[in-house]
């Protein structure tokens, strides 16, 4: 009862019409235990993505990078999983990717998720606080059971098969983001809290 959740404010410019989307599933995260990229790699390998010529692009560095690369080699999917490390022009990847996945075991305020939504990428996230604040399942994105490989695989397959749903989810998520991250609402929430 003593916890008050106030989302980070965003000053959003209207998103432009972006370039043609490519068959890319994007992850933007530190490569560590929290972000659970190993689960994403396993789910990607089990999904229909590879036989449909999709790539998994992972932006970010971390202590698990070598472990994750070995996992890709063991699963024989190394040529379909691209580790880009730290990139300066991250917006270019948001603009051309078709699906965004945040596979975290736990989260606070997931800025990468907010960025993906802003760039109108349909999103998949684990059903945990922080992520659930932004995603309403099957309305503006997909939620999978936390740390569940089969559940995440199902979500990946669903979005690959359903282009219209991808477009609908991304549009709904963008409109919701404009509401919940409104700077005026942010200021009002803090003022109300400090006045109590």
- Please name the residues in contact with 116: beta carbons below 8 A apart, sequence gap of 6 or more: 26, 28, 94, 100, 102, 123
Measure the CA–CA gap between 123 and 167, rounded to whole angstroms: 11
47 band by pLDDT with thresholds 50, 70 and 90: very high
DSSP reduced 3-state for 50: helix
> By C-alpha distance, which of 95, 126, 127, 116 is closest to 28?
116
Which tokens in the block code for residue 188?
Answer: 């009002």
DSSP reduced 3-state for 26: strand
- How do residues 147-158 score in pLDDT, each as one tens digit? 999 999 999 999
Measure the CA–CA gap between 154 and 37, rounded to whole angstroms: 16
15 band by pLDDT with thresholds 50, 70 and 90: low
- Enumerate the H helices of 4-139 as residue ranges: 37-46, 65-74, 90-96, 111-118
What average pLDDT does the structure give for the chain? Answer: 91
- How do residues 89-104 score in pLDDT, each as one tens digit? 898 999 999 999 999 9
pLDDT of residue 71: 98
Whole-prediction pTM: 0.90
């Amino acid at each position: 009862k003593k916890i008050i959740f106030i989302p980070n404010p965003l000053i959003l410019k209207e998103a432009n019409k972006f370039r043609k989307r490519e068959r890319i599933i994007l992850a933007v995260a530190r490569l560590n235990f929290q972000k659970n990229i190993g689960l994403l790699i396993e789910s990607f390998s089990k999904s229909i993505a590879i036989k449909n010529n999709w790539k998994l692009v992972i932006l970010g560095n971390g202590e698990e990078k070598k472990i994750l690369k070995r996992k890709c080699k063991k699963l024989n999917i190394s040529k379909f999983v691209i580790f880009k490390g730290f990139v300066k022009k991250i917006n270019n990847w948001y603009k051309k990717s078709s699906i965004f996945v945040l596979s975290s075991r736990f989260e606070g305020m997931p800025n990468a998720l907010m960025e993906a939504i802003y760039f109108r990428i349909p999103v998949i996230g684990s059903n945990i606080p922080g992520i659930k604040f932004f995603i309403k399942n099957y309305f503006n994105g997909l939620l999978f059971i936390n740390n569940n490989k089969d559940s995440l695989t199902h979500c990946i397959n669903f979005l690959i098969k359903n282009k219209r749903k991808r477009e609908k989810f991304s549009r709904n998520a963008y409109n919701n983001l404009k509401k919940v991250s409104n700077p005026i609402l942010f200021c009002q929430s803090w003022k109300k809290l400090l006045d109590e």
